[in-house]
Amino acid sequence: MTVTPAASSRSEVSSDSIHLSVQDTSASLPRPVAEALDYQPMSEFSESYHLEADDQQDGLRLLRRANLDGFVFPPQHGWVTIIPRSEFGTPPERLLEGNEGCLLRYLLDQDAGWMFAVYTGPILACYYECRWLDWSDPENRIKVDASGVDVELVWALAQRHGHDPQLLELERILHPRIVRRTGQETGEPYDHFVDWAWKHEVAYAFAELVALPHYVWLRWWDDLSDAENWIQNGAVKVGSRPRPIPPR
């Protein structure tokens, strides 16, 4: 097996992916991750937004400025988690336009890859992406795009919110070591991470580093099937106002 640095690519992590089953790794995962995996039988698709704030009202005001439905969790570790009405993989433009602080977007498509972005006000200040499924790549290689990362910005977030963060851990996440393996059943080569048994664990490692309070199996669902659990955890629902009709 040969360990290589990740190849680079610039493309969005999409929801186009195959479906894999989640095996039980709860014994070695952080408590919120383990509890989520206990009752989730399929691949994880999560997307959440985290406003740097100490007041839940800041998140509520952001959703109202954006005129978006959504849920806002109470502050924890200096983050207010927001779940706006949106399609998976497509950030709502009105949310970004209405942002007046530091907003972190986190996305995990367990079958395809993960990404994060940081917005300062409406401006994209930092972007990172890692893909492990790309139908256009017959070599099955993991591709990392760290060209848009502001390491100082991300490290500052980890220092402000994390518990004893290590810069080496951030580097390990952003520039993961990769090993080339051969499938026992198919005989086809593929890439895998050296430091994580399951590929999605690198996304969890980042979320833990910057101390995101809510991120596992978390995304907007139109049927609001998870709303009761969110409300039990202190989340507040925001309903959008009808947009004014422009005069003729």
Q: What is the pLDDT of residues 130-163, one digit of tens each?
A: 999 887 787 889 999 999 999 999 999 999 999 9
Q: What global pTM score does this model have? A: 0.80
Which regions of the chain are under pLDDT 70? Answer: 1-41, 240-248
Show the 3-state SS of the chain: CCEECCECCCCCCCCCCCCCCCCCCHHHCCHHHHHHHCCCCCCCEEEEEEEECCCHHHHHHHHHHHCCCEEECCCECCEEEEEECCECCECCHHHHHHCCCEEEEEEEECCCEEEEEEEECCEEEEEEEEECCCCCCCCCCCEEECCCCCHHHHHHHHHHHCCCCCHHHHHHHHCCCEEEEECCCCCCEEEEECCCCCCCHHHHHHHHHCCCCCCCCCCCCCCCCCHHHHHHCCCEEECCCCCCCCCC
- What pLDDT is stored for residue 222 in this prediction? 85
**Separation of alpha carbons 32 and 17, rounded Å:** 25
- What pLDDT is stored for residue 248 in this prediction? 53
